[in-house]
Copies of this chain bind each other. A is one copy, B any other.
Amino acid sequence: MSKIIFDSGISLDGYFAGNNRGPQNPMGGVSPFIHAWMFNEKAFWDHLGVAGNHQDGPDGKYIRETIERTGAYIMGKRMFEEGEAVWPNDLYKADVYVLTHEKRAPWVQEGSTTFYFINDGIESALEKAKTSAKGKDIRIQGGANTIQQFIHAGLIDEFFLHIAPVFLGTGIRLFEGINKDLYTLEIAEIIHSDLTTHVRYTCKKK
C-alpha cells in the first residue's frame, strides 16, 4: 500500500525556504545552503539526465531510494510556479498533482512527467495520486505549507529530513504551528554525512 511521505532539506534553524520566494527567486535563494549535499551527488544529476564529474558518495543512496519508492507527487501552487520556470523537462518521471485554484489542462511532458492541476483540495489530490502511484509511495514535495496541510490532516506515514549544518536566520520554516497531539514519532534511521544529517521518522497517529 502506498505510504504518504515527505523528504525535505532544512537548515539547522528549521528553514525550508527563504523569504521573497518566486519564479525569479526559487526557494528564496536558500537551495545552495540547504541542498549542498544533494548537488554534490551523481545520483541527483543522473536523475536530471545531466552528465558531469560528480562523486557517487554514500548520500546518493538516499536520493536513489526516495526517487525509486515514489510513484506520484503532490505539491503546492507556489512551488510549481517557481519550478515551472527552471525545472528541466521530465524532472519527476511520474504524475505530479499541483494544488491550485487555477483551472488548467494537464501538462504532459515528453518522457513520463505529467502535471495535473487540482482545484478541490488535498484529499482529492491524494485519491488521484494513489491511482497514479500503483502501490508506490506518494511524496508531498512541498512547499512547507503544503506539507503542513498533510501533517495536520493526519495523513503522513513517514518523513525523511536532511538537516544542513547552516543557519539561515529567517525564511519559511518546515515545522510551524504543528499540532503536537497528532502523531507519535519514531526515529527509524539516522545517517551521518559531512554535509547534512539524514534522519528518517515514522509516524503513528495518536
Give the interface of A toward B (CB within 8 A): 12-14, 163, 165-170, 173, 175-180, 182-183, 185-187, 189-190, 192-194, 196-197, 199, 201
16 sample A-B contacts, Cβ–Cβ < 8 Å, listed by A number: A13-B173, A13-B175, A13-B178, A14-B14, A14-B175, A165-B187, A167-B179, A167-B185, A168-B178, A169-B178, A169-B179, A187-B192, A187-B194, A189-B192, A190-B197, A197-B197
* CA distance in complex: A194, B185 (Å): 10
Q: When the two chains form their complex, are residues A199 and B197 in contact, meaning their CB atoms are under 8 A apart?
A: yes
Q: When the two chains form their complex, are residues B165 and A180 in contact, meaning their CB atoms are under 8 A apart?
A: no
A84 to chain B, nearest CB (A): 28
Q: Give the most central of A179, A180, A201: most B CB within 10 Å.
A: A180
SS of A interface (majority)? loop
* CA distance in complex: A169, B183 (Å): 12
Q: When the two chains form their complex, are residues A185 and B166 in contact, meaning their CB atoms are under 8 A apart?
A: yes
A59 to chain B, nearest CB (A): 12
Q: When the two chains form their complex, are residues B177 and A169 in contact, meaning their CB atoms are under 8 A apart?
A: yes
Instruction: Known contacts A175-B12, A187-B192, A190-B192; decide if A180 and B167 are in contact (CB<8 Å).
Output: yes
